[in-house]
Amino acid sequence: MDVNTDLDTLYQELGLDRAVIDYGKKVEEGLKERFAAIDETAEFNQMKVLKAMQEARVSDIHFAATTGYGYNDIGRDTLEDVYAKTFHGESALVRPQLISGTHALHVALSGNLRPGDELLSPVGKPYDTLEEVIGIRDSVGSLKEYGVTYRQVDLLADGSFDYENIRRAINERTKLVTIQRSKGYAERPTLSVSRIGELIAFIKSIRPDVICMVDNCYGEFVERIEPTDVGADMIVGSLIKNPGGGLAPIGGYIVGRQDCIDRASYRLSAPGLGKEVGASLGLNQSFFQGLFLSPTVVAGALKGAIFAANIYECLGFAVRPDGKESRHDIIQAVTFGNPEGVIAFCEGIQAAAPVDSYVTPEPWDMPGYDAPVIMAAGAFVQGSSIELSADGPIKPPYTVFFQGGLTWYHARFGILKSLQKLMEAGIAQLPILC
């Protein structure tokens, strides 16, 4: 028989050198215990989602498409019930009409803030795209234009909360506190759910009526609990990240307190209409099924992030989080110190993709960024970052941000392919010992 059934041979046909394959095996060998713990969390979260689906009595009638106004869309209403049950909130807004994470955050903020109110971020600068939503960078239609002011308290140098200045920043106009769970592309550490809980408890001890919202992007199902379990009034995220499980082709969610969700819904559709309208257009099945798969997809992405950290740490590059740290999101940063490293890494991720593997990514001047950015994304869904993807601005310290992978095997291959490209470019050399 001359059909190959040997995995290493197949890897070589896919362009990996023997030495890279062997190095990958060696690194993986040391991660068994951590991977087992990730699998246990995934199993827990899988049962959590399943329980919510059973309690909501999900049925195939809920996969039917609605059009137009979308009145009586029981699939949409049941999906929102499943999200509310999964994340332990009173209500949920889960819609294809929420275009992205940024849009969902904008709807949650603008629905719950009124002129004269103040918004506080006690965890430093929010995600880039929110700067224009809030008006930190002047922007047409920002909250600032509507008379909502903004205050920010940075984390202390060691990453802890600056309680003293948070206390000072809270005043009679403070209406809503926004807490970003993931570090995103910032330098600070990602917050664990329990740390978020401590922060919320502190804020509520000063002003119990302040709305605490958590930007939950990239954090869903990484732990057994979510911010709604530790006092968050609203959590917000994107369906082309973790909870869409790679199947949702669009969408965002907001889960939390009934009154907060209702106000957001009046902003998304119109006052008086709220959650009653909004056709699901045949997307419900992929939303249900994506949520169902999400805990295992997130587990694969987490393993990929930890594998990447250990692969590159051992090679002498700075990685954040480091190879040993516990994880609270799926993002991995690797610093190369030169543009060639960032470019070679992204070329490897692109070359490992199921879609557009044959194209070569190049840095370009993206709107909103102050340096050229290179992006690798051979995704089934445009811009999906639960799928294997990487990007990095071409500026010091030349850091690439890596995330996703719909399966652990694919994430693993993508990282080895990035290493292959770095070796071919003469930027990385395999260590003798690790």
Which residues of this chain interact with ligand PLP, rule CB under 6 A? 100-102, 127, 129, 180, 182, 184, 215, 217-218, 238
Nearer to ligand PLP, 100 or 294 (CB): 100
User: At its nearest, how many Å lie between ligand PLP and the CB of residue 366?
Assistant: 13
Nearer to ligand PLP, 102 or 418 (CB): 102
- DSSP bridge partners of 293: none
Please state, in angstroms and rounded to a whole number, the distance separating the CA atoms of residues 340 and 196: 37
For residues 356 and 380, the answer to whether their CB atoms sit within 8 Å is no
- Which residue's Cβ has the minimum distance to ligand PLP? 101
User: At its nearest, how many Å lie between ligand PLP and the CB of residue 131?
Assistant: 11
Nearer to ligand PLP, 161 or 253 (CB): 253
**Cis omega (within 30 of 0) for bond into 397:** yes
Q: Which amino acid makes up residue 378?
A: G
Nearer to ligand PLP, 104 or 210 (CB): 104
Enumerate residues 6+ apart whose C-beta is below 8 A from 427.
336, 338, 340, 341, 344
Nearer to ligand PLP, 127 or 345 (CB): 127
User: At its nearest, how many Å lie between ligand PLP and the CB of residue 217?
Assistant: 3
Q: How far is CA 67 from CA 2, 72, 283, in A?
A: 53, 11, 11
For residues 306 and 415, the answer to whether their CB atoms sit within 8 Å is no
User: At its nearest, how many Å lie between ligand PLP and the CB of residue 123?
Assistant: 11
Nearer to ligand PLP, 253 or 307 (CB): 253
Nearer to ligand PLP, 398 or 401 (CB): 401
Nearer to ligand PLP, 129 or 139 (CB): 129
Nearer to ligand PLP, 218 or 312 (CB): 218
- Residue 190 tokens read as 């990602």
For residues 400 and 363, the answer to whether their CB atoms sit within 8 Å is no
Q: How far is CA 403 from CA 8, 234, 386, in A?
A: 25, 25, 7
User: At its nearest, how many Å lie between ligand PLP and the CB of residue 100?
Assistant: 3
User: At its nearest, how many Å lie between ligand PLP and the CB of residue 310?
Assistant: 23
User: At its nearest, how many Å lie between ligand PLP and the CB of residue 328?
Assistant: 12
User: At its nearest, how many Å lie between ligand PLP and the CB of residue 107?
Assistant: 12
**C-alpha closest to that of 428 among 318, 352, 316, 346:** 316
The string over 319-349, giving b where at least 16 C-beta atoms fall within 10 Å of a residue's C-beta and e elsewhere, is bbbebeeebbbbbbbbbbeebebbbbbbbbb
Nearer to ligand PLP, 182 or 332 (CB): 182
The alpha carbon torsion through 84, 89, 94, 100 (nearest 10 deg) reads -140
Enumerate residues 6+ apart whose C-beta is below 8 A from 83.
52, 89, 92, 94, 243, 253, 255, 291
User: At its nearest, how many Å lie between ligand PLP and the CB of residue 44?
Assistant: 23
DSSP calls for 214-247: EE-TTTTTTSSS-GGGGT-SEEEEETTSGGGTTT
User: At its nearest, how many Å lie between ligand PLP and the CB of residue 252?
Assistant: 7
Sign of the Cα pseudo-torsion (356, 357, 359, 362, in order): positive
DSSP 256: E
Please state, in angstroms and rounded to a whole number, the distance separating the CA atoms of residues 222 and 200: 20
User: At its nearest, how many Å lie between ligand PLP and the CB of residue 254?
Assistant: 13
**Cis omega (within 30 of 0) for bond into 321:** yes
Nearer to ligand PLP, 101 or 227 (CB): 101
Q: In what order do the strands lie in the sheet with 332-335?
A: 318-320, 332-335, 399-403, 389-393, 373-377
